Amino acid sequence: MADTSKIATLTIDGQSFDLPILTPTAGPDVIDIRKLYAQAGVFTYDPGFTSTASTESTITFIDGDKGELQHRGYPIDQLAEHSHYLEVCYLLLNGELPNAEQLEEFEYLVTHHTMLHEQMMMFFRGFRRDAHPMAIMVGVVGAMSAFYHDSTDIHDAKQREVAAFRLIAKMPTIAAMAFKYHVGQPFVYPRNDLDYASNFLHMCFSVPAEKYDVNPILARAMDRIFTLHADHEQNASTSTVRLASSSGANPFACVAAGIACLWGPAHGGANQACLEMLREIGTVDRIPEYIAKAKDKNDPFRLMGFGHRVYKNFDPRATVMKESADEVLDLLGIENNETLKVAKALEKAALEDPYFAEKKLFPNVDFYSGIILEAMGFPTSMFTPIFAVSRTIGWVSQWQEQLSDPQLKIGRPRQLYMGEAERKYVDIEKR
C-alpha cells in the first residue's frame, strides 16, 4: 500500500480541500482525487490521461526520463539477455521468477494448450482472403468465448487461470493461421516439441510439401521481440483491456478489445509505419533528402521509428533489439534487399547527425523490430499481429491484477462538456 502521510491542499474560491498524496515504490508522487468531486464539486481535466494514474499496479514500471523499463523490479535488458519469453510470462503472471521445476511445469501447460478447437477453423474461412490479419484476430479471439465456456467466469479463480493459459498459448496459433490464410497457404498445426518462438515460426513458414527447420538465431530474435513487447505499463491497449474488464466482460472479449486498440498506427502499427517510410525513401542515395525533410518544420514528413513518447533519452528495449537485428541481418544478408540497406544507412546517418541527438530522436524498438521482421520474410501486415502475440501476457497479467483489486469499479471517465446549454424543444413547424 502506498504511503499516505503527505497532504496536498487545493484552494478554490477561498475554500481549501485536503487531498492525500500517495508515494509509490518508484516514480512520482500521486495526488489522490477520488473524493474531489464529492468534496469540492469539480472534476480534473486531463486529455490522454498523461498526468492521471488510473490504477495501482505491481507489474511494470517505466521511467521515461532515465530510459528504464522494469518488470516486477527486473530491468528489461537483464531479462532479455538472461531469460526467455515464457519465463518472463511466468514472472508477469506470478510476481516472481520461477525455479526450474515451476518453469518446466509452466512451459508444459502453455505448450499443451496451443491447439485451437477444430471448429474455429471455419471462422477463418468466413473472411475474405485479402482481410487484414488484425481484423481476423479481433474476430477469432472474441469468438473464443463461444467455444471455451469453462473459462469465462471471471469470479472463479480456476477459470481465470485456465483463460490466461489459453490466451497465452493459442495466440501464436491464431496469428499464424491468420498469416497462412492471408497468403493462401494451408494451416500448420503447432508442435509440442518446439519452444514458443520456434513453434510460431514453424506455423508461419513451414509447408506440408517440405521439411522446415527453424534457425536458432531467428528463433532467438523472435523470442526477444516477444520479450521486449510483453508489457508496457498502462498504454492504450492495456488500458482498453482494463476498461473492458471493469464492466465484467469475459477475458476473451477484453483481449479482443485490446487487439482492436493495438491495431491503431499510433500504437501497435508503429513498426509497420517505419517500414513503409523506408520503402518511401527507396534507395540509400535519397537519405540526405529525407534527412533534410525531417529537419524542415514546414514539411509534414516525420522519421518513423525514431524517438518515443515515453522515453526521453533512449529506449532501453532498442539496445537489445539492435543486437538481434545485427545478428539476423548477418545471417540473412541485406545485399539483395534495398529496404534493409536503407534502414542500416538511415540509422547510421541519424546517429551521426547532431540535430537528431539534440532532439533525442534515437532509433526505438519499433525501428529495429521492423527490420528483423522484414528480414525474416513477414509482410508489414503481420507486424501488429506479432505485437499482439507478445502483448497478450501483459494484457492477461493486468486483467488478473485488476480483478483481484478490492477497489475495482467500472471505468467511467468524466468530461468537460462544451455543447449547448439546456434549451426548449421547438415543434418542427416552427423551426
- Residues annotated as part of the active site: 308, 366
* Residue 190: φ, ψ to 5°: -70, 160
Give Cα separations from 174 to 58, 142, 297, 410 (angstroms).
Answer: 29, 12, 43, 30
Cβ 201 vs Cβ 223: under 8 Å: no
Give Cα separations from 233 to 178, 307, 385 (angstroms).
Answer: 27, 18, 19
- Grid coordinates in use for 209? 510439401
Q: Which of 264, 257, 250, 272 is nearest to 138 (CA)?
A: 257
Q: Find where cell 538511415 sits.
A: 346
Q: Residues 6 or more apart from 252 whose CB is under 8 A from it? A: 141, 142, 143, 144, 145, 148, 152, 163, 167
Ramachandran region of residue 248, left (φ > 0), alpha (ψ -120 to 50) or beta? left
Q: Please tell me what DSSP assigns to residue 29.
A: -
Cβ 135 vs Cβ 64: under 8 Å: no
* Residue 295: φ, ψ to 5°: -80, -20
CA–CA gap between residue 311 and residue 98 (Å, rounded) = 29
Cβ 384 vs Cβ 264: under 8 Å: no
Q: Which of 237, 268, 260 is nearest to 383 (CA)?
A: 268
In sequence order, the β-bridge partners of residue 19 are 8
Q: Residues 6 or more apart from 203 whose CB is under 8 A from it? A: 172, 173, 176, 177, 180, 188, 189, 190
* AA identity, residue 52: T
What DSSP element (H or E) covers 375?
Answer: helix 365-376
- Grid coordinates in use for 159? 477459470
